[in-house]
Every structure is written in structure tokens, then in C-alpha cells.
Structure 1
Amino acid sequence: MSRNESGNEALPDSLTGALSDFLHYLSAERRHSPHTSQGYQRDLIRLMHWAMRQSPPVDQWEKLTVADVRRYAATLNRDGLSGRSIARALSAIRRFYDYLIREYRVRTNPALDVRAPKSGRRLPVAADADQLGHLLDARPEDPLEVRDLAIFELFYSSGLRLSEMTGLDLRHLDLAGGEVRVLGKGNRERVLPVGRKAAGALRQWLALRPALAGAGETALFVSQRGQRLSARSVQQRLSRWGQHRGADQHLHPHLLRHSFASHLLESSGDLRAVQELLGHADIATTQVYTHLDFQHLARVYDAAHPRAKRRKAMVSGQGHVDGDSL
């Protein structure tokens, strides 16, 4: 088969003709932008090149089957495309075949029930402990910054979610006992320790709160107007704190919660304790959340499991390990 100028195998008219008609339909009838049409074109040209490399080649659109589309999605996954990119490619195929069905060129849509693999959960990288300590040690300049520092210290001290933080009332805080009671997902209540730094920042805020809080307001953290502080305000104030103090990364509530979990896990290695503190019903959520890798799990296993210890002793005593012990 001849090659085109780009070095790729030339595509048959039986495939490219229908694509040209589809792109004209998108621009002339659907009024899609050139950028959108180019996206469809890229996705479908990639599919055509893949189809022509199959044995036998899929050289007509009506020959493409559901199994072919599933194998194509698997190929994109192996090539390193994200779940979102694969979903976009499958969407382009579905849209194209909807057009072909409308034009009576094919009878069925082979991509209709094919779904892309789920993308991995994207979580923030934990902040450096020393840099985070430097940011939290900065001196507040006014009563609102005293409040902000108390919020940020509590995020990092106790690993609260944003909704849990803004939902706190005065009655939930027990500084004498060093505890805070929060209501998490699924209305599950948990009691969390409050660290020394956070307790100190909270005491400073509580001394100033009466001058800001409206009459009868029960919220622990209030706005300048004396009402419960909103989640959006907390996000904005934390971002502002980081910008004014030269943070290397964007500061936001989830970063502090994630840093709390990661730093605690690094120091203790106690996954179950971190799970309880975070309020996760399933420990698998905690494993993903804290970015546990296999090497860390292997070190815990080697240090704790009696059979692992025994194997290490055998290795040091005999100088080798037979195949059955691996």
C-alpha cells in the first residue's frame, strides 16, 4: 500500500470520503467551530489508521464491529491515553456513526455501548512539611487573619474536609480536652484531636470572635459581617494567605487535608489510624488518598510479618534464596 507525505499508510476512499462528508456536515449544518471539527478529524483519522492495520484491514465503515471498537479503546489505553481522552475518542466515533446511520450508510453504531476506562483520581501532591510550617508560622496582621490562621491550623492539625470546617459550631470545640467534633459524610460523627499549634491559634481567634459575631450566631468561624463563613470565602482566604507569603504552590483546603494524611502516615505508618481520622468508611479510599505505593507496603510487610522476617533471616544465614521462597 502506498504511503502519504507524512509517512503514514494511505487511507482508502471508502473511509475518507465519509469522513469528509461528516466534517462538511459539522461545519455547514451544525455550525461547529473549526477547532471542534479538527478534533473530530484527528480522532477519526487515528481510528482509520488503526483499522487499516488490522488483519484483515477494516476498510469500510460498515465492517467496524463492537469488538473492534473495544479493542481500539484498549489500544489507546495501552498507548497511555487518559480515560478522558479515550472517552472523547469514543464520543467522536459515536457521533460519526450517528451521522452515517442518518445518511443510510450503515445500520448500527458499534461504539454505542463501549465505555472508556475510568481515569485515576487526581489528588494534590502533599505540601512540603517545612514550607507548610513556615507559612503557618507567619504572624497574622489583623483580626480576620487571626481567624484565617486558626482555620488553616485546624485543617492541617485535624484533617477536616472543607464542609466539616464551615459546619463547625462553638459547641463542637473542646480546647480543654484538645478535641473537635465533626459531622462528616453520611452523617457520621467523629472526634478528632486538636494539635498544640492549632489550639493556640484557636484561642487567639476566640478572644476576638465576640467583636465580629452577630447576636445568636453559633458558628465557630464568622465573616466580617458576623455570619457563618462560607466555603468559598475559606478557599479565597487560604489562597490569599499563600500568595502574600510566597507559597510555592496554590494553597487550598484539600491540600492541607491531604498533607495532614500524608505526613501523619509517613511518620506513623498506621493506615487504620489515618483512615479513622479522615473519616473514610473504606480503607481502600485512604490508600488512594494518601498515595501509598507498593514499596511502602513492602517495607511495612517486611518489618512486621513473621514469615517475612523468617525469610530475611534465611537469606542472611544461607546467602541465597531458593525459588520456592520468592
Structure 2
Amino acid sequence: MALSSFIDYLNLERKYSRHTVTAYSRDIESFLDFLDTEYGAMPVTEVSYPLIRSWVVKLGDEGLGNRSVNRKVASLKAYFKFLQKTGVLQQSPLAKHKSLKVRKEIQVPFSGDEIDAVLGELSSSSDFESLRDLAMVSLFYATGMRRSELINLRVKDVDLARRSIKVLGKRNKERIIPLINWLVDILNTYIDQRNQCFGAENDRLLLTNKGENLYDTFVYRTINRYFSKVSQKTKTSPHMLRHTFATHLLNNGADLNGVKELLGHASLASTQVYTHTSMAELSKVYQKAHPRNRSDD
């Protein structure tokens, strides 16, 4: 069965985002290209686990890290599972595959001072670009939305009167996120300026300086540009603002289930990755407050 059928399945039935579908397609094509180069034309029904292992070894030899290799293999595993589901394969050659070990990296969120420094710089100007970038940073930090969700926001999704915003998340699942007054004021100012500059021709909320749709690299570069000035962290991406949103809420006593709903996670397991910093804060409070934790005991 052609790869195109699997892509249609991801788009139409699983309703994955364009970015996710592109990643799946690229990973699987990488493997198919490897097969063509190393073994010639081969039907997918003849692919064996040793062949896949040789691809994995090749990826490692090319300098790809274990995390990236695991992602590629996961894409291939999903493809074989689809072929099994549709009757092309009786059993997936990756049925007993175990992922490569990946060292867990603790992602340190932005500090309050770093957030304040960026917001302070952006608040000092009132031109369209500064207001747009301020709205972008503020939306990430105040709602925890994903980059793709922010890019696809439309003006009609923002309800300033009810202080809420509608977000279209993964697999086209909608969620409503409440807006704090601080963000309402920022969006109100930005939308006024946006409408003066570009009117209603484009209904996307956030636009480029030319009034066009935002795109992934534009958002990444914008966030990285501001935060690399104030932070020594190696990662200054939009996702780090999502991570910061969740961590700051948890550090200030937010319920884990509530944060899960705000982030649009399907399960608590996904949200729990943000709790390590919260545990560090909790430990400090505990060590300081417990009556038995005294140096003279």
C-alpha cells in the first residue's frame, strides 16, 4: 500500500496537524530511500527487523542522536501498524522493538526576571511590530498554547468581553482558555492597531509586518531573538514559554488537572513532565518550614 494512503489516514482520520504529518512522511521516506539505496526495490511486506536495525545504525553513524532516531522509528512503527490494520501485513517487523535509551534533560523554565525583561522591552514601543511581538510573547506565557495553535488563531477566536480565547489544538480539539486582565489589555491594544494597519482582509489574529500569515520559523526566530538577549539558557524557543507557563502555575499552587486542561493534554502523563521544577520549589519550602529540619537537631 502506498505511503499516500497512510498520509491520508493521518490527515483525515487521525486529524494530525500539517506539521506532524510532514514529519511522519519525511521519516518514512528516509527509511524507504535507505532501502532503495542499500537493497534495491523491495516490497514493504518483505521488510524485516534486521533491515530496520541497519537503518538505525546508519542514522547513528551519521550523528543523529537517540531522541531523533527514536522519533524516526516511531513514525515507521505507526506506518507498519497502519499496514497491519489494513491487512497488508500480518505482523509489524517493529512489534518487539525497544526504543534507544535517552538521557532525560531537565528543561529549566524562564525565570520571572527574564519574562519581565522581555515584556519590558516590548512594552516600551507602540509600533505595530512591537505590539504584535508583545501579544505573541504574552499569549504564550499567559495561556501556554502551542506554536501551531498561536499561528492559527483568528480574530473571532478572541472574546475580550468574556475574557476568553478559543484554541484549536491537536486532532482539531477545541478548548477555551480564560484570559487574565493583563493579557486582555495587551490584546485590546494590539487588535486596534492591527485593524488600523490591515483591516479585515486577513482574519488571522497575528500577522507579519506585511499583513500575511505567521509561519513556524517566523515565530521561533521572534521568540528566540528576544529571549536570547536576556537568558543564558540553550533553549529559548516558543515551547520553553509553554514550559514556563505550566511550571510557574504549578509553582504557585495550581492544580495539576487544571494545568492539564489549559495545556490541552490528553492525559496527566504529558503534564507531569512539567512538575520537576515544582517539586524543587516544594522541596525548598518543605526544608525551610518543617520544624524537625533544624541544624541543631
- TM superposition score normalised by structure 2: 0.57
Change (3 A) 1:170 1:151: same
Q: Mind listing any 5+ residue stretches in structure 1 that lack a counterpart? A: 1-29, 31-82, 89-112, 300-311, 316-326
Alignment check: 8 A CA contact 1:135 1:247 kept: no
Q: Which residue of 1 aligns with 2:167?
A: 182
1:1-326 equivalences under 5 Å are: 84=66, 115-119=98-102, 122=105, 124-138=107-121, 139-141=123-125, 142-213=127-198, 216-243=201-228, 245-249=229-233, 250-291=235-276
Q: Secondary structure at the match of 2:232?
A: coil
Change (3 A) 1:219 1:116: closer
Q: CA deviation at 1:233?
A: 0.9
Q: Tell me, in whole angstroms, the C-alpha distance in 2 between the residues paired with 1:140 and 1:295.
A: 34
Q: Tell me, in whole angstroms, the C-alpha distance in 1 between the residues paired with 2:281 and 2:178.
A: 26
Q: CA deviation at 1:198?
A: 1.7
Q: Tell me, in whole angstroms, the C-alpha distance in 1 between the residues paired with 2:278 and 2:117.
A: 28
What percent identity do the matched residue pairs reach? 34
Q: Secondary structure at the match of 1:280?
A: coil
Higher mean displacement: 199-208 or 131-140: 131-140
Q: Secondary structure at the match of 1:212?
A: helix
Q: CA deviation at 1:144?
A: 0.4
Change (3 A) 1:224 1:122: same
Higher mean displacement: 267-276 or 120-129: 120-129
Q: Aligned-residue CA RMSD in angstroms? A: 3.3
Q: Tell me, in whole angstroms, the C-alpha distance in 2 between the residues paired with 1:298 and 1:119.
A: 26
Question: CA offsets, 1:148-197, max 9 Å, x none?
Answer: 00110111001110000001000100112111110111211111121222
Q: Tell me, in whole angstroms, the C-alpha distance in 2 between the residues paired with 1:278 and 1:153.
A: 15
Change (3 A) 1:193 1:140: same
Aligned residues: 195
Q: Secondary structure at the match of 1:202?
A: helix
Q: Mind listing any 5+ residue stretches in structure 2 that lack a counterpart? A: 1-37, 39-64, 71-95, 285-289, 293-297
Q: Tell me, in whole angstroms, the C-alpha distance in 2 between the residues paired with 1:211 and 1:294.
A: 46
Q: Which runs of 4+ in 1 moved over 6 A?
A: 292-299
Q: Secondary structure at the match of 1:268?
A: coil
Q: CA deviation at 1:294?
A: 6.8
Higher relative contact order by CA 8 Å / sep ≥ 6: 1 or 2?
2
Q: Determine which structure has more spread, i.e. the larger CA radius of gyration.
A: 1
